[in-house]
Amino acid sequence: MLLISTDQLLSFKSTEKIPLQCDFCQQNFTRMQKYIKSDLKLYGTIKHFCCHTCSTESRNVKQKVQCKQCGISFLKKLNQLKKYPNSFCSQSCAATYNNTHKTHGCRKSKFELYLEQILPAKYNELEFHFARKDAINSELDIYIPSLKLAFELNGIFHYEPIYGKEKLEKTKNNDNRKFQACLERDIELCIINVSSMNYFKPEKAQKFVDIITNIIDSKCKRTE
């Protein structure tokens, strides 16, 4: 901590020693004006430590925080807290929270974007949710709240180890969790295997569009 004002600091000569207080051990010490001035110019407000040990130990100080996702209490280093204000007790909690609260980015396929255009136009009386997480706290490709009907459009990555067996296993586990979550909320989940569509063209996608629209038509008739 600087024991004088910034204006006073500028009145000292560059080689004069300025009184400081260590931000870790609270001991008083001195440092040349030119070094403090240089650090202030580079970093704005800075911490001052009397020795390397205090500087190192200050980075290891921990504070009790709560996980943003599950609420469990744990200790987190202060320097990490400043850099990452949202605290998570595990990578799993961090991923769950970030996926649930994501407000930007796009991982939609051309086929999904195509469906976003044609389905609302065909069924203008129905509300469609595309790639949203509000129904089951996990992303569903298509969800129709009034029908409690959802669709997952599974490409090759859901069936073949394109990025390795471990990645495929995680994908399958996530698929199973989605299916279970839909069951618990009485949502009918229809899984459409689109892995045979290597690239998107409206004519290639038509058979999958027909499958989806036939299911929607059937569901509408059952709810009339």
Domains identified in the chain, total number? 3
User: 39 with 142, same domain?
Assistant: no
User: 207 with 114, same domain?
Assistant: yes
Residue 115 makes CB contacts below 8 A (sequence gap 6+) with 130, 142, 153, 209, 212
| Owner of token pair 């980015």 | 105
Domain contains 1: no
User: 122 with 210, same domain?
Assistant: yes
User: 95 with 179, same domain?
Assistant: no
User: 78 with 95, same domain?
Assistant: yes
Domain contains 198: yes
CATH number of the structural domain spanning residue 199? 3.40.960
> Tokens for 41?
């110019």
Residue 169's pLDDT band (boundaries 50, 70, 90)? very high
User: 78 with 169, same domain?
Assistant: no
CATH number of the structural domain spanning residue 54? 3.30.160
Domain contains 105: no
Q: The domain containing residue 210 runs over which residues?
A: 110-222
Which of 46, 71, 100 delimits the end of a domain?
100
pLDDT digits 0-9 by tens, 83-115: 667 788 876 677 666 655 554 444 678 899 999
> Tokens for 176?
């199973």
User: 140 with 182, same domain?
Assistant: yes
Weakest-pLDDT range from 34-38, 98-102, 169-173, 211-215: 98-102
User: 116 with 213, same domain?
Assistant: yes
User: 47 with 66, same domain?
Assistant: no
Residue 133 β-bridge partners? none
pLDDT digits 0-9 by tens, 47-75: 778 888 888 887 777 788 888 888 888 88
Q: How far is CA 130 from CA 100, 138, 146, 150, 171, in A?
A: 14, 12, 14, 10, 19
